[in-house]
Structure 1
């Protein structure tokens, strides 16, 4: 299957849309990193930007979680490396929220 031929205007519109999505994703991950949003809030967000974000990237945005800890958590919860948030099961979501519940 070949890609559709886009007009210059369609290409420009697609470029602007992709830039907007990347900026929105970056803002969400920054909020998570700096504690302005919790993991539970982000996982509860049903926007396309969140649901299409890779779980590994989301975990690595948490304070104190780096690539090694993120890999350990994903292995422990049987989450595939390329899994996106929309592909998480209910139990996986619940366990993630439980593991990274903010301290009261």
Structure 2
């Protein structure tokens, strides 16, 4: 699939939007790591925030204190979350289980 031809203004706007999304995700991940936010707060915010909704669940879990790559993989397998799943794609049972485990 070929990428659409963008005008310089459209390209600049797309780059700016991507930069804002990366910054927003980084802010939220830092807040999780510092225990300023809980996982349930982030899941609630993701309902209205496009940048958070598109974040991968594994990245979100790895941002939690005391959860590394291995622990996140184990949790995702136990809760039956695909490695490519994004926050928006979590089912209600998966969301409830993650909230039960991490608050």
Shared fold (TM-score greater than 0.5)? yes
Q: Tell me the number of residue pairs that the alignment of Structure 1 and Structure 2 aligns.
A: 101
Pairwise CA distance, 1:2: 2.3
Equivalent residue number for residue 88 of structure 1 = 90
- For residues 86 and 23 of structure 1, what CA distance do their matches in structure 2 show? 18
Q: 1:54 is matched with which residue: 45, 53, 56?
A: 56
- SS of the aligned residue for 1:3 comes to coil
- For residues 63 and 55 of structure 1, what CA distance do their matches in structure 2 show? 15
- Which blocks of at least 5 consecutive residues in structure 2 are unaligned? none
The reply to whether residue 66 of structure 1 matches residue 72 of structure 2 is no
Q: Contact (CA 8 Å) 2:32, 2:39: kept in 1 or not?
A: yes
- For residues 102 and 44 of structure 2, what CA distance do their matches in structure 1 show? 14
Pairwise CA distance, 1:97: 0.4
Deviations 1:57-92 (A, max 9, x none): 000000000000000000000100010011111010
Q: What root-mean-square deviation, in Å, do the aligned CA atoms of Structure 1 and Structure 2 show?
A: 0.8
Equivalent residue number for residue 21 of structure 2 = 21
- TM superposition outliers: structure 1 runs of 4+ over 4 Å: none
- For residues 9 and 48 of structure 1, what CA distance do their matches in structure 2 show? 22
